[in-house]
Amino acid sequence: MRISTLLGAKGAAVVTIGRAATVADAVAALSEHRVGALVVSDDGLHIDGIVSERDVVRRLHDLQGGLLAESVTLIMSSEVETCSPDDEVESLTATMTEHRIRHVPVVGGGVLVGIVSIGDVVKSRMDELQKDRDELVEYIHAR
């Protein structure tokens, strides 16, 4: 299955946050949108970085309460693994496992077109397995 198929099923909405935002702004956006990561982008099209719940927690240990007033750029990852809508989900799964990441922005035509989480990948795989199971059961009952 291609990433474009997965995005077609789940939607292509991406929650972004600007570089000028604070960590408190990021925490609020993560909570409000019920997502695990935000793409850092000033224009919503180009990726400056990514910030996840994990990034917040790891830096919270270091800076304690003072972290919330800091810029989101302090905790974001600026080297972001991305994928293309034409990539296969299997190759994305390998990338996520290899780099120990849970969210991968999707870039098509040089701009941000979606984001895929490990949960999206697992759900798509479970749907495929259920479809295979249903086809096997149907085949057995047809005999």
Domain residue extents for the chain:
3-142
The chain-wide mean pLDDT, for the chain, equals: 92
- The fold of the 3-142 domain, in CATH, is CBS-domain (3.10.580)
pLDDT band at 63 (very low <50, low <70, confident <90, very high): confident
Checking if the pLDDT of 130 tops 90, the result is no
Predicted model pTM:
0.85
b/e per residue, 60-75, with b = 16+ CB within 10 A? beeeeeebbeeebbeb
